[in-house]
A = this chain, B = another copy of it.
Amino acid sequence: MRKMIVGGAQMGPIQKADTREAVVARMLDLMQQAHAQGVTMLVYPELALTTFFPRWYAEDRADMDHWFEKEMPGPQTQPLFDLGRELGIAFTFGYAELTDDGHHFNTSLVTDRQANIVGIYRKIHLPGHVEYDPERTHQHLEKRYFEPGDLGFPVWRNEGVVMGMAICNDRRWPEVYREMGLQGVELITIGYNTPSVNSQKGGEGLRQRLFHSDLSLQSGAYQNSTYVVGVAKAGDEDGHHLMGGSIIVDPDGEVIARAVTEGDELIVAECDFDRCAFGKATVFDFARHRRIEHYQRIGTQTGVKLEV
């Protein structure tokens, strides 16, 4: 058995006016709670340090650069690394990354239990749009402020587990889980900020949006025989409601922990990564069952081609 107690640190809303210091203080508090429950791997949401700023339009993209991190850790995030090292908790969180050469990414990092950064992932499936859209009830300008990630879907062996990351809308794409599944992934962590209203379909409703999130996380876990942890930033950010619904999913696709609030809330589950082996050796033994000669559209054709 390879057991690890994994925590999901759902975060309540972060207002525009909140400082990074105030946010990090909340994250430290969640880390202390996690330590008290024996957690050694803690997952925070996407864009954990700030409000979900892509909901606001700026004609000049540079006006948004203050939401981005130019160094990691920086002075405001260093306390997370210090406490992680002190408590022996590996952690992952999302942030807006501005690189030295001026590129903007929606990024997450993961550390080991000594607070060394083991790897970063840059979000590939950016939802939303580039220009201001007057038809929408609210804006979702990720395609304006970020470039698509350029690192693929890497996995790392971290604290004895093969793990990888995805961010928010990535979770709806089965290609994401499969790319990592083909590398033997056992734990996928996914932070998100998901508006509780579909900006183009008001009647969709919160129940159905939570269902779509669950469905994506659970099928990705089952079909690759991996644990999946989905962690929300939730609640009302300056009048814009984000859904919660953080869950930890086991390799059978079963939800084994679920957040019940829309605030800062820790969810915890003991994961035995040896449980990933059964599915990988039987129904999802890719080597025996996959037929790549019939999957050629997936990697060569981006959009729909209607030929009938």
| Residues on A facing B (Cβ under 8 Å) | 124-127, 148-149, 152-153, 155-157, 162, 169, 172-175, 178-179, 181-184, 200-201, 208, 211-212, 215-216, 218-219, 222-223, 252-254, 278, 280, 282-292, 294-308
Min CB distance, A230 to chain B, in Å? 14
Min CB distance, A72 to chain B, in Å? 22
User: When chains A and B are docked, how far (Å) is the Cα of A253 from the Cα of B149?
Assistant: 28
Residues of chain B with a CB closer than 8 A to A290's CB: 125, 173, 175, 302-303
User: When chains A and B are docked, how far (Å) is the Cα of A212 from the Cα of B183?
Assistant: 23
Beta-carbon contact of A291 and B148 below 8 Å? yes
User: When chains A and B are docked, how far (Å) is the Cα of A145 from the Cα of B3?
Assistant: 41
Beta-carbon contact of B152 and A306 below 8 Å? no
Residues of chain B with a CB closer than 8 A to A201's CB: 278, 282
Residues of chain B with a CB closer than 8 A to A181's CB: 304
17 contacts between A and B (CB under 8 A): A125-B291, A153-B294, A162-B306, A162-B308, A173-B290, A174-B175, A174-B178, A175-B290, A175-B295, A182-B303, A211-B254, A212-B222, A212-B253, A215-B222, A218-B219, A286-B302, A298-B298
Q: For A208, give its contact among B223, B254, B283, B304 (CB under 8 Å).
A: B254
Residues of chain B with a CB closer than 8 A to A215's CB: 215, 218-219, 222, 253
Residues of chain B with a CB closer than 8 A to A124's CB: 291, 294
Min CB distance, A201 to chain B, in Å? 7
- In the complex, the chain B residue whose C-beta lies closest to that of A306 is B184
Beta-carbon contact of B153 and A308 below 8 Å? no
- In the complex, the chain B residue whose C-beta lies closest to that of A201 is B278
Residues of chain B with a CB closer than 8 A to A173's CB: 223, 289-290
User: When chains A and B are docked, how far (Å) is the Cα of A295 from the Cα of B302?
Assistant: 10
Known pairs A124-B294, A172-B223, A208-B252 / 14 extra A-B pairs, C-beta < 8 Å: A126-B289, A148-B291, A172-B284, A173-B289, A173-B290, A174-B219, A184-B306, A212-B252, A212-B253, A215-B218, A290-B302, A292-B301, A292-B302, A298-B298
User: When chains A and B are docked, how far (Å) is the Cα of A203 from the Cα of B183?
Assistant: 28
Beta-carbon contact of A174 and B174 below 8 Å? yes
Min CB distance, A136 to chain B, in Å? 11
